[in-house]
Amino acid sequence: MKVLLLLGLVAVALAELTSFEGEKVFRLKPTTDEHVTLIKDLALSMEVDFWSPESAEQVTIDIDVDIHIPASHTSMVYTILNQSDMEHEILIEDLQAQIEAQVESRTVTPRSHSYTKYNSWDKIQAWMSSVSAANSDLISRQVIGKTYEGRPMNVLQIGKKTGSPKPAIFLDCGIHAREWISTAFCQWFVNEAVTTYGSDSQMTSLLNQMDVYVLPVFNIDGYDYTWKSNRMWRKTRSSKSGTSCRGADPNRNFNAGWCTLGTSSNPCSDIYCGSKPESEIEVKNVADFIRKNKSIIKAYITVHSYSQLLLFPYSYSYQLAADHAELMHLAEAATSALTSLYGTQYTPGPGATTIYPAAGGSDDWAYDLGVKYSYTFELRDTGRYGFLLPESQIKPTCEETMLAVKYIATYVQKTL
C-alpha cells in the first residue's frame, strides 16, 4: 500500500511539471520606433515571457530583447519577424530540451548537496543545518520570518564570534525564483568563507572584523515552485483576492519609488509591484531585519541573473545617487577583479541608465535607508543560456564573482 501511495505521489509530482517542449527564446534587435511598437504589440496579442528586459514597457531602441514564446505562437512570430526588417535570431531552439540539459547527470550521489550542482530547496535547507553545525565557531543561524507558504527564512551570520555586534554586510540570492545561478552563488560564498578562514588573509581579516549575513534563498516559495512545477516562474507565490494570478515581483515590492517606473499594477504581470510596499511577507521580513540592524549593516549585495552587470542606485530614477562617483569607482574596480580570472566582461553603472528603470528594488531601498554600499550583481551569461546556465558554469561563475564580492567587502572594511 505504501509503495502504491509513493508511486501515486511521484506520478502527481511528475504530472505537475510544466512542459516547454517546442518553445523558443528569440533575440530581437529593435533599431527603430516601429520595431519597439511591433514588440509591444506582440506582447499584447499573445503570452510573451520577457527574459531581458523584464517587460514590454522596458523595450527601447538599440537594446536587445530576449523573449520566450509559446510553441503555439512560434510560426506566427516567425512570419511577423520575417515580414519586418528587424534583425533577430533564435537563442534557444527548444526550451524543454535546454531545461533538461541544464541539470546534468545525477548518477553520482544525486541525494547529496553539491556546490557545483543546482540544489533543490530541500537540499539547501538540510545544507544550512549541516554547514552551521559543522562550523559553529563561525556560523550562527537565525530565522527572520516565514514565507507566504510557511517556510522558514534562515539567515546565516558568518564571522568570528566576539560577543558584541560587529559591522556587517547583508548578502541575498534568489529574489527571482528562476535565477538558479544566483542561489548557487550564496551557497558557494558560505563554503568559501568557512573553508578559507584562517588560510586566506583577506577572508580571515574580513570575518574577524565584520559579519556577513547571508540569505541563501530570498524567494523560497517561488524557488521550490521552479523545481516542482514551472521552471520559468519568477515571482513569489502569494494569493490575492480578486485574481487567480499568483505572486508579486519581490524586487518591485520595496518602498523605493514604489510602483512608478518599470513596474506593473497588474497582478498577472511578471513585474507586478504588489498591492502595497512590502505586501510580500518575504520582502517585509528582509526589510524588517535590515531596518532592525541598520546601525551595523554597512553594505548590501543582492545577486541576480542574467546580463553580466554590476549595478548600483538608482533604478527608480535617472537621478544620480549622492555617492555616485565613489559607487562607480568601486564597481569598476570590482568588475576588473572579476574579469581578471576568466576574462568575463561586466558592465558597471547605475541601474536606470545601465539597463532600464525599475522601481521598488531592494538595492535602491537599502541605499535610501542609509546603506551606502548597495549593489546588484547580474551574473552570467548574456543570453546564450539565459536563466538556464549549465551546471558546468557554476564553478567559474562563482569563482569570478567571489573576487568582486571580496573586493567590495574589503573596501567597505577599510572605510570602517
- What average pLDDT does the segment 96-124 reach? 84
Q: Give pLDDT, residue 397.
A: 98
pLDDT (tens digit per residue) in 230-250: 999 999 999 999 999 999 999
Is 54 annotated in the active site? no
pLDDT (tens digit per residue) in 375-404: 999 999 999 999 999 999 999 999 999 999
Residue with the three cell numbers 510544466: 18
Q: What is the pTM of this model?
A: 0.94
Q: Give pLDDT, residue 105.
A: 58
- What average pLDDT does the segment 23-49 reach? 93
pLDDT (tens digit per residue) in 39-68: 999 998 888 999 999 888 899 999 999 999
Q: Give pLDDT, residue 366.
A: 98
The residue extents of the domains of the chain are 24-102, 121-415
- The percent of residues in the chain predicted with pLDDT above 70, rounded, is 95
pLDDT (tens digit per residue) in 310-346: 999 999 999 999 999 999 999 999 999 999 999 999 9
CATH topology of domain 24-102: Alpha-Beta Plaits (3.30.70)
Q: Give pLDDT, residue 106.
A: 52
Q: Give pLDDT, residue 47.
A: 87
pLDDT (tens digit per residue) in 169-219: 999 999 999 999 999 999 999 999 999 999 999 999 999 999 999 999 999
The answer to whether residue 79 scores a pLDDT higher than 60 is: yes
User: Could you say which of 54, 57, 378, 391 is catalytic?
Assistant: 378
pLDDT (tens digit per residue) in 254-274: 999 999 999 999 999 999 999
CATH 3.40.630.10, applies to 121-415: yes
The answer to whether residue 157 scores a pLDDT higher than 70 is: yes
The answer to whether residue 1 scores a pLDDT higher than 70 is: no
The answer to whether residue 32 scores a pLDDT higher than 50 is: yes
Per the prediction, the chain carries an average pLDDT of 93
The answer to whether residue 107 scores a pLDDT higher than 60 is: no
